[in-house]
């Protein structure tokens, strides 16, 4: 097929040879299958902020590093330069997270390059060599659901041990490769230690996994891996070999009612937004 303008620069630079086909067009990005020599890869073209449904919410961008103080001031003021800097930081967040997580052994697509707003990375495939489906397009037996849920919990643990929370993990951004699930779509990934919203986002990520796989293995719906995970992480007791139980004993103490209500309202708003994305 004819190369889109955003991919032509990669061809001109010799980073890819040809564009095979469009794989996906979502609200956040467009993904193409491309060829480089004997390799088949995918190229993710990020859409401009004005074309995206997923806004750069302050919850996600809190404490993200920028190149210099001038950029930080411009981003805070919302100037044109600041908006451009924020957009570049948003795009590079996924690149940084992919390299960081791949180095930590997390099952994510292997990144190859990032050029002119295009992320070049591994094409995740199924047993037939075709592009792997998303979890939401696949049905599972109870045994398969339990196995995939367990393996994805291990990936969440590896991510957290690497200091990263996905922030929008669900059946819509996990691919089922020939050798198991692979986590994708990380532009909203956050720093577990540097973002005050990390606990809530981790709990939501883990709850999304529980609710999805609980459709096939209902006993998973009673588990509480999220609170258990965060408690271990906060206490410095979490590592990649930690054996989780799915049980959690809440500590007794005074309750911050206003804080609880804020968390409930935020979770409700996020669930509404997620369902809108699911229907799109």
pLDDT in tens, 10-37: 999 999 999 999 998 877 789 999 999 9
Which residues constitute the domain of residue 31? 5-279
pLDDT-based confidence at 152, cuts 50/70/90?
A: very high
Give the mean pLDDT of 185-214.
94
137 a catalytic residue: no
205 a catalytic residue: no
Q: How far apart are CA 72 and CA 78, in angstroms?
A: 10
pLDDT in tens, 80-89: 554 555 566 6
Tally of structural domains, the chain: 1
User: Of 160, 232, 238, nearest to 201 (Cα)?
Assistant: 160
Any idea what the CATH number is for the domain that residue 233 is in?
1.10.510
Higher-confidence position of 216 and 261: 216
Select which of 116, 130, 185, 256 is catalytic. Answer: 185
Q: How far apart are CA 147 and CA 159, in angstroms?
A: 19
CA 221, 223, 224: angle at the middle one, nearest 5? 125
Q: How far apart are CA 44 and CA 55, in angstroms?
A: 18
Half-sphere exposure of 41 (CA within 13 A, CB side): 24
pTM: 0.80
Of 123-127, 181-185, 191-195, give the lowest mean pLDDT range.
191-195
Q: How far apart are CA 46 and CA 155, in angstroms?
A: 25
User: Of 200, 15, 20, 24, nearest to 120 (Cα)?
Assistant: 15
Give the mean pLDDT of 256-279.
57
Q: By the 8 A CB rule, do 98 and 124 touch? A: no
Tally Cβ neighbours within 10 Å of residue 125.
16
Select which of 12, 168, 179, 191 is catalytic. Answer: 168
Tally Cβ neighbours within 10 Å of residue 262.
12
């Amino acid at each position: 097929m004819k190369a889109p303008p955003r991919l032509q620069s990669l061809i001109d630079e010799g980073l890819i040879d040809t564009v095979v086909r469009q794989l996906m067009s979502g609200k956040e990005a467009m993904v193409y299958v491309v060829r480089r020599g004997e390799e088949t890869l995918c190229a993710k073209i990020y859409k401009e902020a004005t074309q995206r449904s997923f806004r750069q919410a302050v919850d996600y961008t809190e404490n993200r590093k920028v190149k210099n103080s001038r950029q930080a001031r411009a981003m805070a003021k919302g100037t044109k330069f600041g908006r451009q800097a924020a957009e570049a930081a948003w795009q590079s967040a996924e690149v940084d997270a992919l390299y960081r997580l791949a180095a930590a052994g997390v099952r994510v697509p292997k990144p190859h390059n990032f050029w002119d707003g295009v992320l070049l990375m591994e094409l995740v495939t199924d047993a037939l060599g075709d592009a792997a489906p998303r979890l939401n397009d696949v049905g599972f037996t109870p045994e398969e659901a339990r196995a995939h849920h367990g393996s994805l919990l291990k990936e969440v643990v590896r991510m957290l041990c690497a200091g990263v929370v996905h922030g929008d993990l669900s059946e819509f951004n996990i691919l089922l490769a020939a050798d198991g699930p692979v986590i994708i779509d990380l532009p909203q990934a956050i720093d577990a230690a540097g973002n005050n919203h990390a606990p809530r986002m981790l709990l939501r990520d883990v709850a999304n996994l529980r609710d999805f796989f609980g459709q096939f293995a209902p006993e998973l719906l009673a588990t509480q891996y999220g609170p258990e995970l965060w408690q271990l992480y906060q206490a410095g007791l979490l590592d990649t070999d930690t054996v989780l139980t799915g049980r959690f004993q809440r500590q007794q103490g005074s309750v911050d009612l206003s804080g609880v209500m804020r968390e409930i309202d935020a979770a409700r708003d996020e669930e509404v937004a997620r369902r809108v994305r699911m229907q799109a």
